[in-house]
Amino acid sequence: MPPFSYTSALDLSSATQLAASDPTARFLAGGTTLVDLMKLDIERPTQLIDITSLPLAEVVALPDGTLRIGAMVRNADLAHNELVRTRYPMLSQALLAGASGQLRNMATTGGNLLQRTRCPYFRDTATPCNKREPGSGCSAIGGYHRMHAVLGTSASCIATHPSDMAVALVALDAVVRVHGRAGERVIPLAELHRLPGDHPERETVLEPGDVITAVDVPALPFASRSLYLKVRDRASFAFALASAAVALEVEGGRVRDARVALGGVGTKPWRSRDAEAVLRGRPASRETYRDAARAALANAVPRTHNAFKIELAQRTLVRALTRLERR
């Protein structure tokens, strides 16, 4: 590991100033992604700016019904928060489906959103990877890509975004609050992550010095009836092959409103407005759910080892909607 300096940020302004003046600086939150990647020689920061003592670790219910989640709130605390459990069960379930108890005790809300892909070639410095080394090529496209994405891919990168939490948050229309060089701004979570396109190394729209301070989840009464379903190779401690975050409002046997997002299949947390449009106004039935699932995966691009994910993701979505309807 190359040498680096360590600074504990005293306030947001100094954290932003320090990071903005040094493009190789990194913020240190729970460290469960960053320190791993430093050990693998993939992240090589010259400066670590520790943001764990910034006062960003609260979950606050705002008067308009929005839930403001501080960027330093640990994944375990958020999953067990009573307001999250009752207002947004899918968010609590997504958090508990991720990683392990020990990791969730360390991992933070901001760090979880910015975790890097688990593509094995990205984590292996002996193989070409456009995300790690722009222009070097993508080892996954011609290699083994069973875990890789079928939605939002490009000729340069097919890596999935690994976060479970982000899938629930994108379904809930969450907004990310950022402190940067020009002050505070908000970014809809759906716009935080970029599609890989020709530049998979650019993963988000954040700029040097930007600190995520909080995530706002707007009020959504029907989200109290929501669910996160994750399908993976092992019952725990495994990333999603496919997952679905769903919320349903059913009235008189018909779907009045719905939220759908998918994980494990997209290069970013994948909101499916197409599936939502199919669901709205239709009978709450298995046939409707199947049509919605087909719409959600209509633009999927299968490859040799991951073609199975299209059927798997469709079934995952149908199962999630069916389970939810029966509750």
Ligand X SMILES: Cc1cc2nc3c(=O)[nH]c(=O)nc-3n(C[C@H](O)[C@H](O)[C@H](O)COP(=O)(O)OP(=O)(O)OC[C@H]3O[C@@H](n4cnc5c(N)ncnc54)[C@H](O)[C@@H]3O)c2cc1C
Residues at the interface with ligand X (CB under 6 A): 26-34, 36, 51, 71, 75, 98-99, 103, 106-108, 110-112, 114-115, 162-165, 211-212, 239
Q: Which long-range contacts (CB under 8 A, 24 or more apart) does 313-317 make?
A: 313/150, 313/242, 313/244, 313/262, 313/264, 313/265, 314/290, 316/229, 316/231, 316/242, 316/243, 316/244, 316/262, 317/244, 317/246, 317/260, 317/262, 317/275, 317/289, 317/292, 317/293
**Smallest gap, in angstroms, from Cβ of residue 108 to ligand X?**
3
Using CB under 6 A as the binding rule, whether residue 42 contacts ligand SF4 is answered as no
30 binds, among ligand SF4, ligand X, none (CB under 5 to 8 A by kind): ligand X
Query: Judged by CB, which is closer to ligand SF4: 194, or 319?
Result: 194
Among 12-20, 116-124, 162-170, 174-182, which window interacts with ligand SF4 (CB under 6 A)? 116-124
What's the min distance (Å) between Cβ of 159 and ligand X?
A: 14
Q: Which of 49, 34, 44 is nearest to 108 (CA)?
A: 34
If one asks whether residue 200 binds ligand SF4 (CB under 6 A), the answer comes out as: yes
Site string for ligand SF4, 147-166 (x = CB under 6 A): ----------xxx-------
Min. distance of Cβ 149 from ligand SF4 in angstroms?
8
Handedness of CA 50, 53, 59, 63 (dihedral sign): negative
Evaluate whether 245 touches 168 at the Cβ level (below 8 Å).
yes
Residue 122 binding target from ligand SF4, ligand X, none, CB below 5 to 8 Å by type: ligand SF4
**Helix (H) or strand (E) run with residue 244 in it:** strand 242-251
- Distance in angstroms (rounded) separating the CA atoms of residues 136 and 128: 5
From candidates 74, 131, 177, 268, binder to ligand SF4 by CB under 6 A: 131
Contact status: 140 vs ligand SF4 (CB under 6 A): yes
The Cα 302–Cα 215 span in angstroms is 33
Which residue is at the shortest CB distance from ligand X? Answer: 111
In the DSSP assignment, the letter for residue 157 is -
Q: Return residues touching ligand SF4 (CB under 6 A).
A: 117, 119, 121-122, 129-131, 138-140, 157-159, 200
